Structure 1
Amino acid sequence: MRVSLLDRSRTRAGEPDSAALRHTLDRARRAEALGYHRFWVAEHHAVPGIAGGSPPVLMASVAGATERIRVGSGGVMLPNHQPLVVAEQVAMLAALHPGRVDLGIGRTPGFTAPVRRALRAAGTDDDAFRADLDELRSFLDGTGPVTARPRLDAPVPLFLLATGAGLEIAGELGLPAVVGGRLLDDRAALDRYRSRAGDGGYLVVSADVLVGGPELALPEAWALAAARTTGEFPPLEPPDPGRWMSGRQRGTVEAALARTITGDADDVAARLDDLIVRTGADELLLTSSTWDRGALAASDEQLAPTGALWSRRAQATGPPAT
């Protein structure tokens, strides 16, 4: 089982945004030392709680700070960019760091109307997205109307962040898919993807996972609740179980905590085993964050392919079938 990390460069109350970016680089170095397969960053614009607005720039910094781990995006939101520009950016990264660069593509524009206007974001209907995706692929494989430079000796792996119709598109095009949220419980949709994708099918399952008590998940859950009621996703704050919340906020927090896999190593190993069996995952992409950076580092250590958690899972599930 390949295990990878997605780091969103989460900001923290009372700290400058630059601290979040430095932490992303530190975490990438540790992830490489721990044996993680990939280290991906994300694209968010004008969000107080997230410092990473430019995946290609941050990918370049992560690749420069590491030596072996694969570096990618989870993802670049195609409606925000011209396909040729995306192709040129990833081609340059792949030329500078051969064999290490992935490209995850999503279709979500800015979350608010002012951000979408500032981005000059294009529409997100299926036909427009398919057309942009086809154009991007043509630039990457050298069949486009113009040639993206630098030209590559080997293709860059392309992943589609699959929400709703995205999984259908990934299946039709035979592309690897990254899935999370409600899709993890839709086995029929996952089976259709496998059937349609054929040999190109590869399922990366994204999940919030923290080895430790449920309080570790509380800062992220609270940020989500605040965003749902104020429209602004805030920096992480220390966990406060006694925080006053409206009924709506409490419901959002409880739902977020229920979706996050937490507990000691044995509990987490058992829940991950269920997730892997239920989805048929080829790879896990862990997306968790918390206020306490020390606790996050300790969780990353146990969740790494070389960590104790996977030894516990192997002992619980027995040897693989032959």
Structure 2
Amino acid sequence: MRISLLDRTRTRVGESDADAVAGTIERAGRAERLGLHRFWVAEHHSVPGIASAAPTVLLAAIGARTRTIRIGTGGVMLPNHTPLVVAEQVRLLEALYPGRVDVGIGASLAFKSAIRRALGRTTLDPQEHERAVEELRAYLHGGSDDDVVAKPHVAAPPLFVLAIKSGLGLAARLGLPAVIGGPLLHDTAAARAYARDFRPSPGVPEPYLVASVDVAVAATAERARDLLLPEVWALASSRESGGFTALRPVEEVRRLVGGASPKVRESVERGLGSVVAGTPDEVADAVAALAERTGAAEIMATTSTYDRGDLAEADEALAGLR
């Protein structure tokens, strides 16, 4: 089982956005030293609790600080960009860091209407998105039907689909590896359909699934759940407040949860029930069960903690499961 990390450049109360970006770059170097397989970064626009909206730019810095680990976008939200520009950016990264670049492509629109308008995309047409993915793949492999060529000339980096809703069907039709998370982690029928309907493509002869999930490994299950509580709280409270906020200390979050509405407290409990948190043996068993249920060959942990020292220890413990 391969183990990788997806880092969303989460901000913490009391630190600057620049601190958060520096923390992501430092974490990538640690992931390489721990022998983890990939380190991906995400695209989120105008989110108070996330400091980076430009994954390809951030990867240029991460690539310069690492030597062997695969680096990638988790992902580029293709509706916000033209396929040619994405291809040019990732081809340039491949020229800088040959054989290490992954291209994760998503279809999520921004979480607020004002941001969607600012990005120039207020609705998503699934057929248009599929054509954009095909166009991007054509550019990555050397050209398109109208002879437009993305430069520089380098080997094509692998393309992954970040699957939400019908995304697994898209990945199967186009013969691409897929990343699943959230409800899809429990949709065994969708995972089986992806494997059954997969059409081999150049460089991708077989289906390949990556399971993305919040994971924390600690000495006790209670400690592991505490590590993830600030992230769970940020998501649960955002549904009522409309704002996804910076991570707060665990003790402060406990007080906030205690004073929250019953709806938010219930959302926190559901959130904690959806993570993989526990001792090394407990997490190893949970990961094995997840892999058996989904057919995933790789776990991509999306762990975020308030304390960066805790995060370093959790990453080390996670790497020890391999």
State the SS of the aligned residue for 1:289: coil
Q: Which residue of structure 2 aligns with residue 148 of structure 1?
A: 150
Q: Which residue of structure 1 aligns with residue 208 of structure 2?
A: 202
- For residues 200-235 of structure 1, what are the alpha-carbon distances to aligned partners after superposition, in whole Å with 9 as ceiling and x for unaligned? 410001111001321111100110022111211100
TM-score norm. by structure 1 comes to: 0.93
1:45 aligned partner, one-letter code: H
The residue correspondences of 1:61-140 to structure 2 (distance < 5 A) are 61-121=61-121, 123-140=123-140
In the alignment, the residues of structure 2 paired with residue 281 and residue 168 of structure 1 have an alpha-carbon distance, to the nearest angstrom, of 16
Q: Which residue of structure 2 aligns with residue 320 of structure 1?
A: none
1:237 aligned partner, one-letter code: R
- For residues 277-302 of structure 1, what are the alpha-carbon distances to aligned partners after superposition, in whole Å with 9 as ceiling and x for unaligned? 11111111111101011111111001
Q: How far 1:122 moved relative to its partner? A: 5.9
Instruction: Note if contact 1:79-1:129 (Cα within 8 Å) is conserved in structure 2.
Output: yes
Q: Which runs of 4+ in 1 moved over 4 A?
A: none
TM-score norm. by structure 2 comes to: 0.93
The counterpart of 2:272, out of the listed 253, 257, 267, is 257
Instruction: Note if contact 2:188-2:293 (Cα within 8 Å) is conserved in structure 1.
Output: yes
Q: Does 1:220 align with 2:226?
A: no
Structure 2 gap segments, 5+ residues each:
200-204
Instruction: Note if contact 1:79-1:122 (Cα within 8 Å) is conserved in structure 2.
Output: no
Instruction: Note if contact 2:232-2:271 (Cα within 8 Å) is conserved in structure 1.
Output: yes
Percentage identity across paired residues of the two chains: 51
In the alignment, the residues of structure 2 paired with residue 112 and residue 242 of structure 1 have an alpha-carbon distance, to the nearest angstrom, of 28
In the alignment, the residues of structure 1 paired with residue 279 and residue 138 of structure 2 have an alpha-carbon distance, to the nearest angstrom, of 47
- For residues 127-162 of structure 1, what are the alpha-carbon distances to aligned partners after superposition, in whole Å with 9 as ceiling and x for unaligned? 11011111111111123120011111x221000000
Instruction: Note if contact 2:217-2:280 (Cα within 8 Å) is conserved in structure 1.
Output: yes
Comparing 261-270 with 161-170, greater Cα deviation is found at 261-270
Q: Number of paired residues?
A: 306
In the alignment, the residues of structure 1 paired with residue 14 and residue 115 of structure 2 have an alpha-carbon distance, to the nearest angstrom, of 24
The residue correspondences of 1:37-76 to structure 2 (distance < 5 A) are 37-76=37-76
1:51 aligned partner, one-letter code: A
1:101 aligned partner, one-letter code: V
Q: How far 1:22 moved relative to its partner? A: 0.6
Q: Say what the alpha-carbon RMSD is for the aligned residues.
A: 1.1
Structure 1 gap segments, 5+ residues each:
311-322
Q: Which residue of structure 1 aligns with residue 286 of structure 2?
A: 271
Instruction: Note if contact 2:164-2:184 (Cα within 8 Å) is conserved in structure 1.
Output: yes
Q: How far 1:177 moved relative to its partner? A: 0.3
In the alignment, the residues of structure 1 paired with residue 175 and residue 283 of structure 2 have an alpha-carbon distance, to the nearest angstrom, of 32
Q: How far 1:89 moved relative to its partner? A: 0.3
- For residues 62-102 of structure 1, what are the alpha-carbon distances to aligned partners after superposition, in whole Å with 9 as ceiling and x for unaligned? 11110110100110000000111101000100011100100
Instruction: Note if contact 2:102-2:157 (Cα within 8 Å) is conserved in structure 1.
Output: yes
In the alignment, the residues of structure 2 paired with residue 54 and residue 31 of structure 1 have an alpha-carbon distance, to the nearest angstrom, of 21
Q: Does 1:13 align with 2:40?
A: no
Q: Does 1:286 align with 2:301?
A: yes
In the alignment, the residues of structure 2 paired with residue 121 and residue 64 of structure 1 have an alpha-carbon distance, to the nearest angstrom, of 33
The counterpart of 2:316, out of the listed 282, 296, 301, is 301
Q: Which residue of structure 2 aligns with residue 177 of structure 1?
A: 178
Instruction: Note if contact 1:103-1:158 (Cα within 8 Å) is conserved in structure 2.
Output: yes
